[in-house]
């Protein structure tokens, strides 16, 4: 009984299929890594949104709390308490309360040294 030798054409076809499979596996691996990166970014974004939702829920539940009202007035509206002085330092805002002269609080409408926004 004689063994048939496979033709050169069959060898080329099998080798081409192996090369095609390897190229597809490598490209698939790259797409999987990209998807993992996107998944991580989305998880970070979801965590940030959940934190913001928790903050908003707290503000809604405590909308009559004077501390919450004062915090919203300071952070979102830029208001200050009487006698409080606001210092602007390159975008960083700090404040202090002056008990000696409550009228010395900086007024953006009348104080010429107040930085323009």
Q: Phi, psi at residue 87, to the nearest 5°?
A: -110, 130
Q: Is the dihedral of CA 40, 41, 44, 50 positive or negative?
A: negative
Is the pLDDT at 9 greater than 50? The verdict is yes
Is the pLDDT at 114 greater than 60? The verdict is no
Q: Mean of the per-residue pLDDT values for the chain? A: 80
Residue 90 pLDDT level (bands cut at 50, 70, 90): confident
pTM over 0.85: no
Is the pLDDT at 4 greater than 50? The verdict is yes
Listed as own residue / partner, the contacts of 105-112 with beta carbons closer than 8 Å and 24 or more positions apart are 105/80
Is the pLDDT at 58 greater than 80? The verdict is yes
Burial level of 80, CB count in 10 A (0-12/13-18/19+)? middle
């Amino acid at each position: 009984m004689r063994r048939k030798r496979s033709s050169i054409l069959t060898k080329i076809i099998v080798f081409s299929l192996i090369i095609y499979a390897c190229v597809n596996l490598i490209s698939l691996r790259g797409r999987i890594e990209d998807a993992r990166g996107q998944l991580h970014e989305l998880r970070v974004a979801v965590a940030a949104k959940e934190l913001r939702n928790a903050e908003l829920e707290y503000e809604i539940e405590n909308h009559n709390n004077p501390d919450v009202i004062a915090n919203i007035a300071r952070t979102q509206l830029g208001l200050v308490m009487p006698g409080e002085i606001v210092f602007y330092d390159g975008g960083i805002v700090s404040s202090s309360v002056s008990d000696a002269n409550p009228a010395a609080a900086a007024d953006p409408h009348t104080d010429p040294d107040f930085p323009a926004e």
